[in-house]
Amino acid sequence: MPSSPHREGPSVGDQTEEILSALHRVTALLDRPEDLGALLTPATTELYYRLLQGQHGATLRDSATGNTKLARSDG
């Protein structure tokens, strides 16, 4: 799914099944601390990937790289 152009400030959008599934895998690890060492990094990497590929991926990329007023604000 192509991302829309970035927007300044927070935004809200529908979440895909892929994003929700990845989020579930990350949060499910809270109930299995013995699996955190092996599974947390790949699970969070997938979640970040899914978010960046989503509807607001361009905004997230810009915020993370400091390319927006929001990212450069003092608080």
Both tokens of 22, joined, read 């990845």
Q: How many distinct structural domains can be found in the chain?
A: 1
- pLDDT tens string, the chain, 75 residues long: the values are 445 555 566 667 788 999 999 999 999 999 999 999 999 999 999 999 999 999 888 888 887 777 666 556 654
Residue 60 counted as domain residue: yes
Distances (CA, A) of 18 to 34, 49, 53, 73: 25, 10, 10, 31
Residue 49 counted as domain residue: yes
Domain encompassing residue 35:
17-64
Residue 5 counted as domain residue: no
Q: What is the dihedral of CA 12, 17, 19, 23, to 10 degrees?
A: 110
At CA 36, angle to CA 31 and CA 41, rounded to 5?
130
Residue 73 counted as domain residue: no
Sequence-ordered list of residues with C-beta below 8 angstroms from that of 18, at least 6 positions apart, any chain: 50
Q: Give this prediction's pTM.
A: 0.70
The pLDDT of residue 59 is 82
